[in-house]
Amino acid sequence: MIVKVCGISDIEFIHRIDELKIDFIGFIFYQASKRYLGNNIPPEPIKSLPERLKKVGVFVNEKKENILHTVEKYQLDYMQLHGDEDPVFIQEISKNIRVIKAFRLSNSFDFSKLFDFEGLCAYYLFDTKDKLYGGTGKKFNWNMLKNYTANTPFLLSGGITASDAENINDIDHPMFAGVDINSGFETEPGKKDIQQIKLFINQLI
């Protein structure tokens, strides 16, 4: 199971990365976010992360040239698009880097619209719908996942905490690839509780 830790803006986490068995690490390049990377961590420590650890840049309705500049600056492996990006935009930009497309789910979410994105994304990410873009710290109804019938693997996000490990282990879906954790493991925005992350990972199958 993939474990992605997102919203990192604390250099201490980078220094302690070898303590954690995680697969993806996410940095937010959306200025309205409380976890905006900004100048909190310079490019060099991020570029020097172990090769096994995939670096993900999170963008919201950003221009292509700005995304590609950031990808090069930080040597990112994936871009996560968390806005209203359409299939045409993703088809064009995915020529340069692998894409994780985030979708914000409500009880009325129509999974059929995801078929327009098939073949364009390495992963989908399912998060909880809110008035604002980005993480909400809230869960959507995970029973909705049974309505997803496309063939792109997905990451589960939205309000996940260490106490959710058992329920995550019970998810039975052929396209379920892993989890994206963020605010449920924070001491403050951008700073993660490494012990809580370890506890969570140790409970996952």
- Sign (positive/negative) of CA torsion 124, 169, 26, 189? positive
For the stretch 136-180, pLDDT in tens is: 678 999 999 999 999 999 999 999 999 999 999 999 999 999 999
Q: Which CATH superfamily is domain 2-203 in?
A: Aldolase class I (3.20.20.70)
The answer, yes or no, to whether residue 6 has pLDDT greater than 80, is yes
- The pLDDT value recorded for residue 130 is 76
Active-site residue among 77, 127, 164, 180? 127
CA Rg, the chain, in Å? 16
pLDDT in tens, 39-97: 999 999 999 999 999 999 999 999 999 999 999 999 999 999 999 999 999 999 999 99
pLDDT value, residue 138: 83
Backbone angles phi, psi at 190, to 5 degrees: 90, -15
pTM of the full predicted structure? 0.95
In DSSP notation, 16-39 reads TGGG---SEEEEE--TTSTTB-TT
121 given a catalytic annotation: no
Looking at 6, 77, 164, 180, which residue is catalytic? 6
Predicted local confidence at residue 129, as pLDDT:
86
Question: Are 163 and 151 spatial neighbours (Cβ–Cβ below 8 Å)?
Answer: no
pLDDT for the residue numbered 132? 63
Q: Contact, 157 vs 184, CB < 8 A?
A: no
Q: How far apart are CA 56 and CA 182, in angstroms?
A: 13
